[in-house]
């Protein structure tokens, strides 16, 4: 076989060299991609946990393999001359220009895919490390910035395609887009306000994931803080999304940051109840609450007396470490104690009908 024989403007020898390079790349792509994946993992996690490495490194290997194989293929094919037989023009574009644009498009897509997969890979490893700490802020912060940088990478990818594939001037394009962007920003003002509010939430930290909050007459646990909205699992087990702007502008009661839970009662007694009976009732309640463990800062007094009824007001606080079920039972105990005392001492409750 004559290796210098030309087929489609290239010698057979050149085709064999290209084939040899591609074969070599196909053989070593797995080793090289795993090396880069492990290098990135070791850079992120210097402790180098073997279990985490085995479960996460494979996420990055495949896109790196494809990218390396494509890059080497491009370098190899540059050894070949474009066949003169294929010099076809369609309108103002040649077939060669179309192939080059297609190659650039695939290159950019694979590059952005590697960057996205690397971002996901880094976020997964950091999430695994963050779970080892009790602070849940780290977990949500990683998810937030992962989504944020994903959007940035998509924008960069689109700009690269416009510039390198369609030969658009990015400077002029950005100038044009800035005018369009201003119009879009006005129409999407609410969404932008929510995004800005998400940054305020993350840096000001009025609440974090896992906190029990009350906002807009809803009470629930924060499950996720996103770019646009905050997801809350309510006490009715429903799942609601509240725009971040509302979470910043509204009065949010962070129940998890309370030091105590409050018990509040108003006993409306019959107008026929005399002063001595009211005082005895109030003193009894003071002694009862003082004897209950974990109840403190009590305030019990006759708050109102009038034409319709008399009112004994009771306020007491219990620590937040008391579970909600136990707290409700304590309220029940105080109510039943008040009813029992009233029945035993012939004290009538007011009829407000």
Listed residues 214, 241, 256: the one ending a domain? 256
Q: What is the pLDDT of residue 71?
A: 84
- The reply to whether 353 falls in a domain is no
What CATH number is attached to the domain comprising 245?
Answer: 2.30.30.60
Q: What is the pLDDT of residue 269?
A: 92
Pairing of strands 229-234, 218-225: antiparallel
Which letter, b or e, does each residue of 153-168 get, where b requires 16 or more Cβ atoms within 10 Å of its Cβ?
beeebebbbebbbeee
Taking the C-alpha atoms of residue 148 and residue 169, their distance in angstroms, rounded to an integer, is 26
Q: Are residues 151 and 271 in the same domain?
A: no
Which token pair is 197? Answer: 């509010």
Which token pair is 341? Answer: 């005392």
Which token pair is 87? Answer: 């010099």
Q: What is the pLDDT of residue 91?
A: 67
Q: What is the pLDDT of residue 339?
A: 93
Pairing of strands 296-305, 309-319: antiparallel
Tokens 């004290």 label which residue? 347
DSSP secondary structure letter of residue 349 = B
Distances (CA, A) of 163 to 31, 104, 107, 171, 269: 33, 10, 13, 10, 81
Q: Are residues 269 and 232 in the same domain?
A: no
Tokens 């997964």 label which residue? 124
- The reply to whether 1 falls in a domain is no
Percent helix / strand / coil, the chain, rounded to 5? 60, 20, 20
Q: Are residues 12 and 86 in the same domain?
A: yes
Going by C-alpha positions, the residue among 254, 229, 228, 256 that lies closest to residue 242 is 229
**Paired strand residues for 239:** 233
Judge if pTM exceeds 0.75. no
Q: Are residues 227 and 271 in the same domain?
A: no
Q: Are residues 153 and 217 in the same domain?
A: no
Q: Are residues 20 and 160 in the same domain?
A: yes
Listed residues 187, 207, 240: the one ending a domain? 187
**Which positions of the chain have pLDDT values less than 70?**
1-5, 8-11, 41, 44-57, 81-93, 95, 130-140, 171-189, 352-353
Listed residues 158, 187, 216: the one ending a domain? 187
Q: Are residues 131 and 241 in the same domain?
A: no
305 is in which domain, residue-wise? Answer: 258-344
Distances (CA, A) of 269 to 81, 209, 285: 102, 45, 14
What CATH number is attached to the domain comprising 267?
Answer: 3.30.70.100
Q: What is the pLDDT of residue 332?
A: 92
Q: Are residues 265 and 336 in the same domain?
A: yes
Q: What domain count does the chain have?
A: 3
Q: Are residues 14 and 63 in the same domain?
A: yes
Q: Are residues 147 and 217 in the same domain?
A: no
Please give the torsion angle defined by the CA atoms of residues 38, 40, 43 and 46, in that order, rounded to the nearest 10 degrees: -30
Going by C-alpha positions, the residue among 299, 212, 210, 220 that lies closest to residue 262 is 299
Over residues 29-40, the pLDDT tens digits come to 778 777 777 777
Q: What is the pLDDT of residue 147?
A: 79
């Amino acid at each position: 076989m004559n290796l210098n024989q030309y087929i489609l403007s290239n010698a057979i020898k050149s085709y064999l060299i290209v084939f040899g390079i591609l074969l070599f790349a196909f053989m070593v792509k797995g080793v090289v991609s795993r090396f880069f994946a492990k290098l990135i993992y070791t850079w992120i996690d210097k402790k180098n946990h073997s279990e985490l490495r085995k479960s996460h490194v494979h996420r990055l290997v495949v896109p790196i393999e494809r990218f390396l194989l494509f890059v080497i293929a491009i370098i190899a094919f540059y050894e070949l001359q474009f066949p003169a037989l294929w010099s076809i023009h369609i309108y103002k574009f040649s077939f060669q220009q179309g192939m080059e644009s297609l190659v650039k498009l695939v290159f950019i897509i694979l590059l952005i895919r590697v960057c996205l997969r690397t971002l996901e890979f880094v976020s997964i490893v950091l999430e695994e490390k963050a779970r080892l700490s009790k602070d849940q802020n780290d977990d949500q912060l990683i998810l937030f910035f992962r989504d944020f940088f994903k959007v940035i990478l998509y924008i960069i990818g689109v700009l690269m395609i416009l510039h390198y594939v369609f030969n658009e001037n990015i400077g002029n394009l950005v100038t044009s887009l800035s005018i369009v962007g201003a119009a879009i920003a006005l129409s999407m003002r609410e969404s932008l306000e929510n995004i800005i509010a998400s940054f305020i939430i993350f840096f000001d930290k009025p609440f974090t994931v896992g906190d029990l909050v009350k906002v807009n007459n809803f009470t629930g646990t924060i499950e996720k803080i996103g770019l646009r909205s905050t997801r809350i699992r309510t006490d009715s087990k429903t799942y609601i999304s509240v725009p971040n702007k509302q979470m910043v502008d509204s009065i949010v009661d962070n129940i998890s940051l309370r030091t105590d839970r409050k018990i509040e009662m108003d006993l409306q007694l019959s107008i026929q109840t005399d002063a001595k009976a009211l005082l005895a009732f109030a003193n009894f309640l003071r002694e009862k609450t003082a004897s209950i463990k974990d109840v403190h800062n009590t305030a019990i007094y006759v708050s109102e007396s009038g034409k319709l009824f008399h009112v004994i007001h009771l306020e007491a606080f219990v620590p937040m470490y008391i579970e909600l079920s136990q707290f409700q039972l304590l309220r029940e105990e105080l109510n039943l104690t008040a009813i029992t005392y009233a029945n035993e001492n012939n004290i009538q409750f007011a009829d407000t009908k």
